[in-house]
């Protein structure tokens, strides 16, 4: 299961991570987000110990969604060394997300 990322733990979990980090910006009311959710959960299992994979509910945690210009959801951002190095807006197949992490490992 993907980590729950919040405004309160974002800096520690995402920006200070020594591993690549994938963050799924989503909301419960968003239909396409419900399609991406299980993919992100699979990725979190596949990359356990190699990358940090989490979800951030944009309704409850607006600070970092705004900071990174997330206007459409689902949006998945890839971070390395505290910087955004990848962005996928909308639903994509699992290999799109996996390839983004593989490029950083």
CATH number of the domain residue 76 falls in:
3.40.30.10
Q: What is the mean pLDDT of residues 25-48?
A: 97
Stated pTM of the model: 0.96
**Any bridge partners for residue 54, and if so which?**
3, 23
Mean pLDDT calculated for residue range 90-104 = 97
Residue-level pLDDT at 18: 96
Residue 17 DSSP one-character state:
-
Q: Are 90 and 24 in contact (CB under 8 A)?
A: no
Which of 3, 27, 30, 91 is the catalytic position? 30
The chain-wide mean pLDDT, for the chain, equals 97
5, 22, 23, 33: the active-site residue: 33
- Does 33 participate in catalysis according to the annotation? yes
pLDDT on residue 56: 98
Total domain count, the chain: 1
User: What is the side-by-side strand order in the sheet with 3-4?
Assistant: 3-4, 52-57, 21-26, 75-80, 83-89
How does residue 105 score in pLDDT terms, banded at 50, 70 and 90?
A: very high
- To the query of whether residue 96 is one of the catalytic residues in this protein, the response is no
Average pLDDT over residues 31-60: 97
Which residues form the domain of 71?
Answer: 3-27+34-103
> What pLDDT score does 98 carry?
97
């Amino acid at each position: 299961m993907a980590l729950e990322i919040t405004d309160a733990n974002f800096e520690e979990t995402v920006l200070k991570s020594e591993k690549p980090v994938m963050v799924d910006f989503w909301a419960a009311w968003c239909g396409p987000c419900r399609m991406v959710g299980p993919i992100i959960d699979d990725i979190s299992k596949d990359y356990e110990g190699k990358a940090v994979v989490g979800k951030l509910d944009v309704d409850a945690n607006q600070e970092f969604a705004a900071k990174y210009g997330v206007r459409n959801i689902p949006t998945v951002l890839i971070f390395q060394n505290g910087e955004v190095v990848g962005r996928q807006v909308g639903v994509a197949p699992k290999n799109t997300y996996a390839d983004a992490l593989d490029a950083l490992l």
